[in-house]
Amino acid sequence: MSIKRIGVLTSGGDAPGMNAAVRAVVRTALFHDVEVYGILRGYNGLINGDIIRLDEKSVSRTINRGGTILYTARSKEFMTEEGQRKAVSTCKFLGLDSVIAIGGDGTFRGARALSSHGINVVCIPATIDNDISCTNYSIGFDTAANTAIECIDKLRDTMQSHERCSVVEVMGRNAGYLAMYVGLAVGATAVLVPEKTIDFDKDVIEKIRQARFNGFTHYMIVVAEGAGSASEIAAKIKEAIDLDPRVTVLGHIQRGGSPTGRDRVNATKMGYLAVELLLANKTNRIVCTSKGSFTDVDIDDALQMHRSIQSMEVDVLAAMTGL
């Protein structure tokens, strides 16, 4: 089978580095004399035929830009059989041989639906949550982590000046990978993640007390959004030990900003590999990293995988916080 025309889309939450991946897809495809079309606003764009042709100029100076030049959206219509048939009809009408979908698990499930209707698909993992089970790394995580670290470092400066307790909520939905990574990087007093059952007295209050016994007067609590509300955690701290914490919810600032070098390079490699897979007649695949190498796995197999917080990270955090 000869691939002549590829569509590329970004779906779900945006992640820094998505543009670098789109750029790599375009440049690799054009290198092989394959046309590339950008599908705007994710699967909604595929349903509605909201598509533009991409060339070298279209992706020029985008490798350093956050967000996604293709825009992104979640599509309820695409979750229906009728919506999927509309998307497939668009592919056939425009002569798209293949679709490269950039995003997270929801994006992959959408691509699998296209594949079941005979469309060649390859996916690229991009989510700041880094919660995709089949890959060790997803585009956007490094930038989001560094953004959160920079914000918390600045917050620590002012909090230390006033000898206060800070409760900082980071993103991650139902996964604690971002919170755990950031917590280790900023030397947090405690880190709360949804993967670990919280013993509030042991995991928070005693760690604050231990820090005070060791001479510290400022305490940093990092909370993954899936582990609870930062405001609720702060209220429980105040009730337990009459300490008045300051709450900071970093929110969507973690999604923005120019991608780090790591995200740019990984996104470029993944975009390149996605096109190469299609040209090798491989479909229904997800580009991923495993043991330091770039490879690919079947979408069906990937969606059945389960990932959890590494035990070493838990052990290291326990040692760093002294409990």
Q: What is the set of active-site residues?
A: 129
The token pair that represents 49 in the structure block:
């035929």
For residue 94, count other CB atoms closer than 10 A to its CB: 14
* Residue 176 region by backbone torsions, left for phi larger than 0, else alpha for psi between -120 and 50, else beta: alpha
Measured on CA atoms in the order 50, 54, 57, 63, is the torsion positive or negative? positive
User: Considering just the CA atoms, what is the radius of gyration of the chain in Å?
Assistant: 22
Q: What are phi and psi of 39, to 5 degrees?
A: -95, 115
Secondary structure of residue 255 in the 3-state scheme = helix
DSSP tag of 67? S
Closest CA relative to residue 177, chosen from 293, 290, 322, 313: 313
Based on the number of CB atoms within 10 Å of its own CB, is 1 exposed (0-12), middle (13-18) or buried (19 or more)?
A: exposed
CB 287 within 8 A of CB 122: yes
- C-alpha 212/C-alpha 206 separation (Å) is 10
